[in-house]
């Protein structure tokens, strides 16, 4: 980029097509327009022919960088959707990016990762020295169990650069979630995209739950597996059901979505979503868990009023050009169980929200659950004047 030339006021564009199309990449390229783009994010239903799709994506959108992941549902121009491929593109005239692919998360070397991050940030700074807005978007295998460790390692190389992101899903099968970058599908991996722009890049995180007074203590856990074996020194699933006034057989994915537990960290309560009941009667979680943690049962708020108010606040006094959202699969499950999916979809569509349903969200140095987390893109300050 020539630092003496003002950046054109071009905001992100997004599109979606059915995953079963014979050539979804061609359809997406036509819907996005000619570009050129610095980056194209791709969020794909597992129904897509991923091997062909991923191998061709880089060539179809060249010279843009591409990356993406599998989903547990998509957010399109219609709101909540399924069986789609979503593309979110950053015009090259207004954005510069660098990508860092991180593999073998179980054997992560923080020193090497920090060195890679510093090189990427320096390269980005040289290409866009006058664009001061900077953010990092993280996509990670949502079944790796490594989100917390990775975020801890990233903080050493990112400094004050804010991070947002989502954990890849697999349509609630809990078998195989993938990220993809540089023409290859990857498991137990992540891809971090560093973005610089003259546009204002504003991270956000919305959560509609509040704590109750009902608390319980994790008395036996396997943190590496995110498994809680005992709560209040009783079998975990049995004790959780008792706290809700339910029988063990009544614990379903909707129960976990409607009645999450909270942990307090950094002066705030954060959701820890329960994935499923383990065969031995324990509880499998989607985020870090450990012995001694105090779990607080959450009280769900009015999802529709909360989302409407949060997006209206985000849009005042100036509406974003686009909103990239990472929305927890369990949040979506709760909405559908309460028959609120259509109302939430209408709100998201009205505010130009697109993205995907995740197995967890990343914000700052934390991996969280059952939130809508993301990035709002506003016009450059000069365009406001």
Give residue 230's pLDDT: 96
Give residue 244's pLDDT: 93
Percent of the chain whose pLDDT exceeds 90? 84
Is the model's pLDDT at 2 over the cut of 50? Answer: no
Is the model's pLDDT at 85 over the cut of 80? Answer: yes
| Residue from 22, 21, 16, 63 nearest 43 by CA | 16
Is the model's pLDDT at 102 over the cut of 80? Answer: yes
Cα radius of gyration rounded to whole Å, the chain: 20
Residues 39-58: tens digit of each pLDDT: 999 999 999 999 889 999 99
Give residue 382's pLDDT: 43
Average pLDDT over every residue of 212-218: 94
Give residue 57's pLDDT: 94
Percent of the chain whose pLDDT exceeds 70? 96
Is the model's pLDDT at 4 over the cut of 60? Answer: no
Kindly state the DSSP code that residue 362 receives in the 8-state scheme: E
Is the model's pLDDT at 20 over the cut of 90? Answer: yes
- Domain spans of the chain? 13-206+305-384, 209-300
Structure tokens at 323: 């909103």
Q: Determine contact, residues 251/238, Cβ cutoff 8 Å.
A: no
Confidence of residue 264 (pLDDT cuts 50, 70, 90): confident
Pick the CATH number of 209-300 from 2.40.30, 1.25.40, 3.30.420, 1.20.120: 2.40.30
Average pLDDT over every residue of 338-365: 95
- Non-local (6+) Cβ contacts of 25 within 8 A are 53, 56, 57, 60, 61
Is the model's pLDDT at 191 over the cut of 60? Answer: yes
Cα separation, 171 vs 359, in Å, equals 10
Is the model's pLDDT at 384 over the cut of 80? Answer: no
Is the model's pLDDT at 80 over the cut of 60? Answer: yes
Give residue 8's pLDDT: 55
């Amino acid at each position: 980029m020539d630092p003496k030339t003002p950046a054109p006021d071009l905001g992100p564009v997004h599109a979606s097509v059915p995953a079963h199309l014979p050539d979804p990449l061609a359809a997406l390229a036509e819907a996005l327009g000619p570009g050129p783009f610095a980056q194209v994010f791709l969020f794909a239903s597992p129904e897509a022919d991923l091997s062909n799709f991923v191998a061709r994506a880089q060539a179809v959108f060249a010279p843009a960088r591409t990356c993406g992941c599998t989903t547990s549902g998509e957010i399109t121009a219609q709101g909540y959707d399924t069986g789609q491929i979503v593309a979110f593109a950053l015009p090259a005239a207004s954005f510069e990016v660098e990508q860092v692919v991180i593999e073998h998360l179980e054997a992560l070397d923080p020193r090497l990762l920090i060195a890679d991050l510093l090189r990427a940030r320096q390269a980005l700074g040289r290409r866009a020295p006058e664009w001061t807005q900077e953010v990092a978007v993280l996509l990670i295998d949502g079944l790796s169990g490594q989100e917390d460790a990775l975020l801890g390692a990233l903080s050493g190389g990112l400094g004050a650069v804010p991070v947002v992101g989502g954990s890849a899903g697999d349509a609630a099968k809990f078998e195989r979630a993938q990220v993809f970058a540089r023409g290859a599908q990857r498991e137990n991996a992540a891809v971090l995209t560093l973005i610089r722009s003259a546009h204002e890049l504003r991270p956000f995180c919305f959560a509609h739950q509040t704590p109750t007074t009902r608390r319980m203590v994790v008395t036996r856990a396997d943190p590496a597996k995110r498994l809680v074996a005992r709560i209040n020194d009783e079998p975990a699933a049995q004790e959780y059901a008792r706290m809700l006034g339910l029988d063990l057989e009544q614990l379903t994915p909707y129960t976990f979505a409607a009645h999450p537990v909270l942990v307090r960290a950094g002066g705030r309560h954060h959701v820890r979503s329960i994935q499923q009941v383990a065969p031995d009667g324990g509880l499998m979680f989607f985020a870090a868990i450990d012995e001694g943690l105090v779990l607080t049962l959450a009280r769900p708020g009015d999802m529709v009023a909360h989302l409407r108010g949060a997006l209206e606040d985000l849009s005042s006094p100036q509406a974003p050009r686009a909103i990239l959202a990472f929305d927890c699969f369990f949040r979506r499950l709760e909405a559908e169980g309460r028959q609120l999916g259509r109302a939430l979809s209408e709100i998201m569509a009205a505010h130009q929200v697109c993205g995907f349903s995740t197995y967890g969200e990343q914000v700052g140095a934390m991996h969280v659950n059952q939130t809508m987390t993301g990035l709002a893109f506003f016009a450059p300050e000069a365009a406001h004047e």
